[in-house]
Chains A and B, each alone.
Chain A
Amino acid sequence: MVSVINTVDTSHEDMIHDAQMDYYGTRLATCSSDRSVKIFDVKNGGQILVADLRGHEGPVWQVAWAHPMYGNILASCSYDRKVIIWKEENGTWDKMYEYTGHDSSVNSVCWGPYDFGLILACGSSDGAISLVTCSGDQQWDIKKISNAHTIGCNAVSWAPSVVPGSLIDQPSGQKPNFIKRFVSGGCDNLVKLWKEEDGQWKEDQKLEAHSDWVRDVGWAPSIGLPTSTIASCSQDGRVFIWTCDDPSGNTWTAKLLHKFNDVVWHVSWSVTGNILAVSGGDNKVTLWKESADGQWACISDVNKGQGAVSSIADGATNEQ
C-alpha cells in the first residue's frame, strides 16, 4: 500500500523550494526562501535535524545529492548566484566548494551519474550552464556553456550512464568510454541535449514543443532498455515525454502527457523510469504511468498535504 511513512516539519521560516532524499533514502535535504539548507535524518520514520547549512545569501532553489561513493556531498543553488557544495566530514557539514561563476540566479543543480566522476551541472538565469568537476583533491574544474539558453536556463538533468547503444559501438574490450550527456530546459521554450565530445560540450539536439518557458526536465533512469526517455514541463502547463529509440540518439519524438491548467514546475522519474511524478503551480502532485500500449495515464493524485496517494493502481503493477 502507498502510505505516508514520514512527515517532516522542517521549521523553515519561509517557503520550501526543494526537498530531496539521498541515494539510500535515509536523509532528507530541504531548501527554502529563508536561505538555509537543512538536512534531516529520516531513517525509520525519524526526523532528526542533522545540519542547518547557512551560506547562501538568497533563497535557495534546489539541492542535489551526489552519489555516495564520493562521500556525503550535497550541492545547493540559490538566487544569490552561488552554487555551494557541502560535504560531511566526521559528522559535520561544511562548505566544500563555492562556485560563483554565474551572473544571475542559479536555478538548477544536478550531479552526474557516478561513472562520470564527481560532476555537477548548474543552470542559471544568465543563460549559461556550468559543469563543475572535481578533478581530485579540492581541485575543481569548470566548463561553462555560455548562452545555452537565451534569457535563462531553468533546469538540468543528466542522462544515465547506462545508455544502451552507446556501449555496443565501443571498441571491444575497452572499458566503455561513457558519453556524457545531459538535458536542459530554458526560457527560450526549448529543451536542449548536450553531449561532451573531446572534452567540449556541444549542443546535440534541440527539442521544440513547448510554447512557454521550460521549467523542468528529467532524463529517465535507464534499466538497460534501448530507449532514452526525457520528460519536460513548462509554464504552458504541458508535460511532454520525449523518447528516442535510435541508437545514434538523433530522433526524438514528443508525446504530450497532459496539459495542466497551471504551470508545471517539476517532473521526477521513479527509479525504474516507469512512473513520473508531476507537480506544479496548482499545488498538486500527480503520478503518471505508461501503459503497455504506450498511453500515459494518471495513476494517482497526491493531494495537497492531505496525505495518501489515492492509489488507483495499487498492486495493479503486480498483476501480469
Chain B
Amino acid sequence: MAARWSSENVVVELRDAQATAMSVDCLGGHAVLSGRRFLYVVNLETPSEAPRKIGRPSKWDVGTVQWNPHKAESHVFAASSNQRVDLYTWRDGCGEVHASLQGHTRVISDLDWSWFEPEYLVTSSVDTYICIWDTRDTRKPTVALSAVAGASQVKWNKRNQYLLASSHDGDVRIWDKRKPNTAVEYVAAHLSKIHGLDWHPDNEHILATSSQDNSVRFWDYRQPRKYLNILSCQVPVWKARYTPFSNGLVTVMVPQLRRENSLLLWSALDLNSPVHAFVGHDDVVLEFQWRPQKEASKDYQMVTLSRDQTLRIWRLDPQLQKLCANDLVEDLMEGISLTTESEKSLPSQDPEPTVHSSGLPSEDLQGEDQAGSLTSGGRHDPSALPQTLQQEFSLVNLQIRNVNVEMDAVNRSCVVSALFGTNQVHLVVKFPSHYPNNAAPSFQFISPTTIPTAMRTKIQKILTDTSLQKVKRNQNCLEPCVRQLVSCLESYMTQEDGSAANPYVLSNPVTPALPAFPRVTNTYGSYQDANIPFPRTSGARFCGTGCLVYFTRPITMHRSVPPTEPTPRSLSALSAYHSGVLTPMKMRSESQSSLRLYSGSPTHTDKDHVSISSFYYKERKPAQSVLRRWSIHDCPKSRRFKTKREGADYGNRPIKLAGKIIIQEISCLLPVHKALGETYILNVNDIQDTCLKNAAAALVVGRRDMAKVWALASAATSLELSPDSDPDADAPWARHPFGRHLLETLLDHYSLMSDVQTLAMLCSVFRSQGCSQDYFSLYGQHRSSLFPSHHLRYPSYTSSSVSSGSCYSTSDSTTTTTWSIGRDPEHIPPLGESSPDDYRYANQMYADPREREREQHDMNKRLLDPANTMQFDDFKKCYGEILHRWGLKEKRAEVLKFTSCPPEPHKGIEFGVYCCHCRSQARGTQCAVCKRFTFQCAICHVAVRGSSNFCLSCGHGGHTSHMMEWFRTQDECPTGCGCRCLLQSTF
C-alpha cells in the first residue's frame, strides 16, 4: 500500500542480462549494468527503450561498476573484473574501454571514485592492498595502502578528500591517503564480515557499516570502541546507505527467500522500525543507487537492480522523505520491533540450494515459509539450526478454535489436538531432518482419537498430500496441514449430525495459546498508514427521512469470539498481524492493477487473502494466516499474480467478506409522519376547515395529541375571535392567555419534540390567520413610504416572491385610499392574507400616534409573535425540505408560501442619490439600506427610474414630464408638503 504510493516504480526487465552490478551516473541519465557478456547502458529517462550494449570479452564477472561522480567526467565509468579495472567512455550511445588499471594480484572487491578529484579512483582487493589510482597515469597506482588483510569494501569520505575507509572482515580501517603507511584508525566494528560501508553524506566522521552479523552500526571513527547506534536486523545486512535527504537510511537485507522483501527505508533517528518497504523485486536486491534530484522536483528517485533481472526506479515523495526526518511513527509502532525473520548467508555466496525456497506462489506466504530452512543456517550462525523449525513453530498462525498444537522443536515433532463436538483428534506430526526440503512430515493419530478409522485414513491421506505439495516447493506445511485437518473435521461433523450448526460453536472453546513469539513487523510499507484510521467495517446512517441504513461485518466473521482486544485505531496496526514474511505479491507498474478485480467471478480464495477482514477473521479463524489477506497491500499499482493455488489450501467454506446492507424503516421513531405530510392541507381561505381536516388526519395516524392541537387551532382561528381592526376595541384574542401564550407553549413543546412538521404547520396556519405583517416588523419598522399600493397595478414592481393569493392591505390608511380605488373591489375576508408589499409601501408614512397605535395593534392581534418570524420561517423551510425528500413537492410549495422571503436585491442602473426614505446614500433606484426605491414620483407615485427632477429643498420630485406638467400651473410641491419648490430651488 504505502509502498506503492511512494514508489510508483518503473520496471525495466533485462532478460538474460545476468547483471551483477549497476551504477547510475551523476547526471541521473544513465545506468550501467554489468552482465556476463555485455555491459548494458539503460537510459533512465526512457527506460522502456532497449538498453545499449557494450561487448565485454572477459570470462570474469564484473565485480563493481561505477560512474565517475564528477560532471566533467560523467561519461566515464570504471568496471572491475577480476584483477583489472577497465575504464570505459560512454559517448553518443557507444562505449569503449579507454584504459585499464592493472596492479592488483587478486580479485578486486570494490572500487570508488573520489568525490573531490575526478581522476582519482580507489580499489580494494583480497590481495590486501588498497590502491589509489590517478587515471591519467594508468600504469601503476599512485598510492598503495597495505592492509595485511584482504579488503571487501573501500569508500572515499564524502567530506574530506584525503580520508577513506576500507573494511576487512569485521573491521574497518580509516586511511588518510597522505599517510599511506598505516591506517589512521581501526574500528573493530562487527563480529562477522562487513558487506557494506557508507560514509555519512554530511559528517566526515560518521559512517555506517552493515554486516553478516545481522546489524547495521553507526560509527564515529574517532570513537572506535563504541558504536553510536545499532540497527539489529536478525538477518545479515547486505548494504546500508544513507539517503541523500534528511536522516534516512536504506538497507538491503540478505533475504532467505527469493521474494522476500528486503529493501527498507529507515529513519536514522528511529531505528525501531523501518519507515517504508520497497515492495516489488522478486529476488535479492543487488544494488541500489540514487538519481540526482531533478530541478524543481521534490521527489527523489532510487534505482535498484535485483537478481530477478529487473531494474526498478522508485519515487520517494516528500511525504516519505519527511518520515525519515522525524519520527512521526513514534508510539504507533509501539511494541513492534523489527525482526525481519529471514536468515542466513548471502545468497550469492551460499552454495546450498535449500536456503532459497524458490518459486513461492505469490499467495503462499505463511509465516513459516521463510523460516523453513533447517539445513542452511548453521554456517554463520550456529544457533540458526534449532531456530528454524522453532521459527516455523513460532510463526505458524494456529489460533484456531478448538485446536491446540503443542510443538516440540527439539524432537522435531508436534501434537495437534482438536476437539470437535464429541470427537477428539490427536495427531502427532514428525518432521524429518531435511524438512521442508522435499521431506514431508509424517502424520499419526494417537489415542484418544475418537473418529472412525475410515475417516482417519482419509484425513491422513489428505494431510500427506497437502504436506507433499508444500515440501516439494521447499515450503513449510504445518499450518496448511492443520487447516486441512480442521476443514476435514468440520465437514465430517456436519455430515455426521446433519445439522447446520456451526462447528465453531459446538464445543467448548479451547483458548488458543498465543504464539510465543514477539510481534514481528512485516514492514510491508504500512508505516505510512500509521495515521490512517482503521477502516469502519460497520456503520449506520439515517438516510432519506425515515430510513436507517446499516451494515455490519458478516455474521461469520464475529460470531464466536468476542473481541479480546479493542479495534486498533490505525491501519498500520495490521502490520502487527503480519509475521515477518513479506508478501511476495508481485508488483507491476501501472495499469494492470485491477485486472483481478475486474475479472469478476470472485472465489473465496480470492477474497480471503486480501482484506481488512483479516483483523476480524483472525478472531474467528485465526489460523488463516492473517498476513496473506491484507488486500490493501496489493492495492493500487500492483497486480496479484494468481499462480496456481494450492487446491488443498484451507477450508472450503466460502467466507463472505461483505455483509448485507439493511435498510430499516424507522419513521415511527421520528416525530414527523409522511402520512400526515400527505394529508395535511393548508387552505388559507378556510382556516377552520383546514384545522378540522388536519385534526382528522392526525387521528388517522394515531396522533391524538395533534388532533387536539388542531382543535385548539381551530378554536383560536375562529371568526368570533378574529381581531377587530379598531385598536380601541377589546384586546385582541392574541393577548389572551389562550391566545399567543397558548400557541407559544405549544410551539415550545413541539420544539422539544423536534416535531418540525407540527411546528411548521402551526406557524403556517397562524401566519395566514394573523396576516403577514409580521415580516415587516422586522424589515419595515423604520420605513416610511410615499408609495402606497400602487404597484398592484404594475405587477412588475411586486417583488413578493412567495406570497400569492389575494393581495389586500389591511392597513391602508385613509390618506392612501384614493389610490386604492383602482383595485378590485373584491371582498376582503377577515383573515385574508395581505401582501407584504402592501404593508411595506403603505404603512408608515404617517407616523402620527394613531398610526403608531394601529401598528401596535397589528402586532398585538397576531397570534404568532412577530419577533420570531425568522425562526418560524426556518421551521417551514426545514419542513419544506422534509416534504421534498418525501417527494411531496406541492405540499412543500404550500408550506413555503407562508415563509416571508426577503426580496431579491435589486440590480439595475446605478446613480448616486440619497434615499428619500432613510437618507442614506444610495446607488441606484433602490436604497441599499432600507431596500426601498430611492425616490418616486410625487405625481404618479411610481418609482422613478428614468429622467427625473426633484426639489432640492424638500427632496420631492419625480418624472421629468410629470414635474414639468405640475409646475406649469403650480408652485408648491405636489406632495402637499408645503414647500414652494419653484422658489426654493432653481430648476
> Residues on A close to B: CB < 8 A?
1-26, 28, 30, 32-36, 42, 54, 57-59, 61, 79-81, 103-105, 107, 125-126, 151-152, 154, 162, 164, 167-168, 171-176, 187, 212-213, 215, 221-226, 235, 237, 261-263, 265-266, 268-275, 277-285, 287, 289, 292, 299-300, 302, 304-305, 307-309, 311, 313-315, 317-320
Contact = CB atoms under 8 A, between A and B. Distances in A.
A225 B759 CA distance: 11
Contacts of A270: 542, 666, 669-670
B657 A15 contact: yes
B962 interface: no
Contact of A14 (B328, B544, B611, B754): B611
13 contacts: A19-B541, A30-B551, A262-B563, A265-B538, A266-B540, A275-B670, A279-B540, A284-B552, A285-B548, A285-B550, A305-B662, A318-B668, A320-B705
Contact of A174 (B532, B664, B668, B905): B905
A265 B611 contact: no
B632 A2 contact: no
B566 A15 contact: no
A8 B753 CA distance: 32
Q: Interface majority SS on A: helix, strand, loop or mixed?
A: loop
B718 interface: no
Contacts of B871: 164, 224-226
B631 A59 contact: yes
B330 to A, nearest CB: 10
A9 B553 CA distance: 13
Among all A-B residue pairs, the 10 with the closest Cβ atoms = A25-B544, A224-B874, A281-B567, A21-B543, A320-B705, A173-B931, A12-B658, A274-B754, A57-B636, A223-B756
B980 to A, nearest CB: 35
A174 B902 contact: yes
A286 to B, nearest CB: 9
A305 to B, nearest CB: 5
Contacts of B613: 14-15, 33
B508 interface: no
A277 B542 contact: yes
A223 B875 CA distance: 6
Contact of A17 (B535, B563, B882): B535
Interface of B: 1, 5, 317, 319, 328, 528-529, 531-555, 558, 563, 566-567, 569, 571, 593-594, 597-598, 602, 606-607, 610-613, 631-632, 635-637, 657-666, 668-672, 702-703, 705, 749, 751-756, 759, 778-779, 870-875, 877-879, 882, 884-885, 887, 902-905, 929-931
B757 to A, nearest CB: 9
Given A15-B657, A174-B931, A223-B874, 11 more contacts: A5-B547, A15-B537, A272-B756, A274-B670, A277-B540, A279-B536, A280-B538, A283-B538, A302-B548, A314-B669, A317-B669
A5 B663 contact: yes
A22 B663 CA distance: 13
A35 B597 contact: yes
Nearest to B884: A23
A239 B38 CA distance: 67
Given A2-B665, A173-B902, A58 B566 contact: no
B875 A105 contact: no
B923 to A, nearest CB: 15
Contacts of B528: 104
Contacts of B637: 57
A15 B870 contact: no
A292 B748 CA distance: 11
A173 B779 contact: yes
Given A19-B550, A275-B542, A126 B319 contact: yes
A303 to B, nearest CB: 9
Nearest to A162: B874
A313 B756 CA distance: 19
Contact of A3 (B543, B558, B598, B665): B665
B531 A151 contact: yes
B550 to A, nearest CB: 5
B625 to A, nearest CB: 18
Contacts of A9: 660
Contact of B535 (A22, A59, A168, A187): A59
Contacts of A314: 668-669
B709 to A, nearest CB: 9
Contact of A152 (B1, B531, B534, B612): B531
Given A224-B877, A275-B542, A104 B319 contact: yes
Given A263-B566, A266-B536, A30 B661 contact: yes
Nearest to A126: B319
A305 B632 contact: no
A300 B548 CA distance: 12
Contacts of B319: 103-104, 126
B533 A215 contact: yes
